[in-house]
Structure 1
Amino acid sequence: MNVKDVDWRFKIAHKEAWIGLSLATIHFLWWYGFAYGLGKRPVDEYTYLFGLPAWFFYSCVVGFVVMLILVSAAVKFLFKDIPFDFEEGDSH
């Protein structure tokens, strides 16, 4: 298969897939860092925010809000709206 025969939409799809994998990695590192970083201490040494242990609050509640903002920004500014239908001679 010649490089010119590859559909132009695959380049965009690969870029967006890498963005998605990067966001998932960021989310995992955020969650793991706070959950196991702050959650290692004995239970009697925990600090609490809004009735939740700090490790849970930062890893799950704040992490969700941060990822919601990052994913929304990625979709708004980095992702492209592309057609899925194929037309003969369609080469963007």
Structure 2
Amino acid sequence: MQDKRFKIANREAFIGVALVIINFAIWYGFAYGLGSGNPSEYEFVFGFPAWFFYSCIAGTIFMIILIWISIKIFFKEIPFDEEEDKQ
């Protein structure tokens, strides 16, 4: 019988990988989508180029909130102690 903690750990690892992929997609989309034009035509948000603001500042804030929500909803605390076989 496989320990149920491995199933939980695998699910949480997949969630972590999904969050990394989302973070990279947001960063890449804004950085190369908005930042690929002529620098003299950039728009600015709070003194930063829009591509930098949305990919690095707003994206980071969004990811922090998304990770916090994911941890509260999908992750659960499990004991690390060895389970004794019940006979």
TM-score (norm 2): 0.96
Structure 2 Cα separation of the partners of residues 82 and 59 of structure 1: 35
Q: Which residue of 1 aligns with 2:70?
A: 74
Structure 1 residue runs of 5 or longer lacking an equivalent are none
How many matched pairs? 86
Structure 2 residue runs of 5 or longer lacking an equivalent are none
Q: Which residue of 1 aligns with 2:48?
A: 52
**AA partner of residue 45 (structure 1):** E
**RMSD between aligned alpha carbons?**
0.9
Q: Deviations over 1:15-35 (max 9, x none)?
A: 000000000000000000000
TM-score (norm 1): 0.91
Overall identity of the aligned pairs, in %: 55
Structure 1 residue 89: deviation in Å?
Answer: 1.6
**AA partner of residue 40 (structure 1):** S
